[in-house]
Amino acid sequence: MSVFTTVSEDQASAWLENYSIGQLTELRGIASGIENTNYFLSTNQGKYVLTLFENLTAAELPYFLHLMHHLASLGVPCPLPMSNQQGELLGTLNGKPASIVTRLTGASLTAPTIAQCAAMGATLAQIHVAGKNFPMQRENERSGNWWKAISPQLLPFLDTDAAQLLQAEIKFQALHRLQDLPRGVIHADLFRDNVLFEGDTVSGVIDFYFACNDAWLYDIAITVNDWCITATGELDEAATRAFLQSYHSVRPFTAIERGAWPITLRAAALRFWVSRLYDLHFPRAGEMTHAKDPSHFERILRNRIQAQSALQRMWVNQEPS
CATH of the domain at 75: 3.30.200.20
Q: Is 109 part of a structural domain of the chain? A: no
Give the pLDDT score at 284. 72
Window from 57-71, 169-183, 294-308 with minimum mean pLDDT: 169-183
Give the pLDDT score at 288. 44
Return contacts of 45-49, CB within 8 angstroms, 24+ apart: 45/21, 46/21, 46/22, 46/102, 46/103, 47/102, 47/103, 48/21, 48/82, 48/100, 48/101, 48/102, 48/103, 49/79, 49/100, 49/101, 49/102, 49/103
Based on the fold, state whether residues 98 and 211 are members of the same structural domain. Answer: no
Residue 1 predicted with pLDDT over 50: no
Q: Is 55 part of a structural domain of the chain? A: yes
Under the banding of pLDDT at 50, 70 and 90, the label for residue 290 is low
User: What's the CA gap between 68 and 57, in Å, rounded?
Assistant: 17
Nearest to 20 by CA among 92, 84, 99: 84
Based on the fold, state whether residues 124 and 270 are members of the same structural domain. Answer: yes
Coil, helix or strand at residue 124: helix
Q: Is the dihedral of CA 268, 273, 278, 283 positive or negative?
A: positive
| Domain membership of residue 41 as a residue range | 9-102
Residue 242: which CATH number? 3.90.1200.10
Under the banding of pLDDT at 50, 70 and 90, the label for residue 319 is low
Based on the fold, state whether residues 293 and 168 are members of the same structural domain. Answer: yes
Strands 201-205 and 195-198 come out as antiparallel
* C-alpha pair distances (Å), 225 with each of 31, 229, 243: 26, 6, 11
Q: Is 96 part of a structural domain of the chain? A: yes
Number of domains in the chain: 2
pTM recorded for the entire structure: 0.94
Give the pLDDT score at 320. 42
Residue 142 predicted with pLDDT over 70: yes
Residue that finishes a domain, picked among 67, 102, 137: 102
Based on the fold, state whether residues 83 and 124 are members of the same structural domain. Answer: no
Amino acid at 299: R
User: What's the CA gap between 139 and 304, in Å, rounded?
Assistant: 26
Coil, helix or strand at residue 307: coil
Burial class (CB in 10 A: 0-12, 13-18, 19+), 246: buried
Q: Is 208 part of a structural domain of the chain? A: yes
Amino acid at 176: H
* Residue 39, strand partner residues: 29, 50
Based on the fold, state whether residues 285 and 140 are members of the same structural domain. Answer: yes
Q: Is 297 part of a structural domain of the chain? A: yes
Residue that finishes a domain, picked among 102, 133, 150: 102
Q: Is 40 part of a structural domain of the chain? A: yes
Residue 289 predicted with pLDDT over 50: no
Our CA angle for 224, 181, 246, nearest 5°, is: 40
Give the pLDDT score at 51. 95
Based on the fold, state whether residues 57 and 133 are members of the same structural domain. Answer: no
Q: What are phi and psi of 302, to 5 degrees?
A: -60, -40
Give the pLDDT score at 318. 52
How many CA atoms within 13 Å lie on the side-chain side of 237?
Answer: 7
Q: Give tens-digit pLDDT for 31-42.
A: 876 678 999 999
Q: Is 243 part of a structural domain of the chain? A: yes
Based on the fold, state whether residues 95 and 119 are members of the same structural domain. Answer: no
Based on the fold, state whether residues 97 and 118 are members of the same structural domain. Answer: no
Nearest to 266 by CA among 184, 179, 192, 174: 174
Based on the fold, state whether residues 206 and 310 are members of the same structural domain. Answer: yes
Q: Is 48 part of a structural domain of the chain? A: yes
How many CA atoms within 13 Å lie on the side-chain side of 157?
Answer: 15
User: What's the CA gap between 270 and 276, in Å, rounded?
Assistant: 10
Coil, helix or strand at residue 291: coil
Give the pLDDT score at 91. 96
Give the pLDDT score at 285. 58
Residue that finishes a domain, picked among 102, 123, 152: 102
Give the max Cα distance, the chain: 60
Average pLDDT, the chain: 93
Under the banding of pLDDT at 50, 70 and 90, the label for residue 286 is very low
Based on the fold, state whether residues 157 and 137 are members of the same structural domain. Answer: yes
Q: Give tens-digit pLDDT for 211-246.
A: 999 999 999 999 999 999 999 899 999 999 999 999
Based on the fold, state whether residues 234 and 280 are members of the same structural domain. Answer: yes
Based on the fold, state whether residues 185 and 300 are members of the same structural domain. Answer: yes
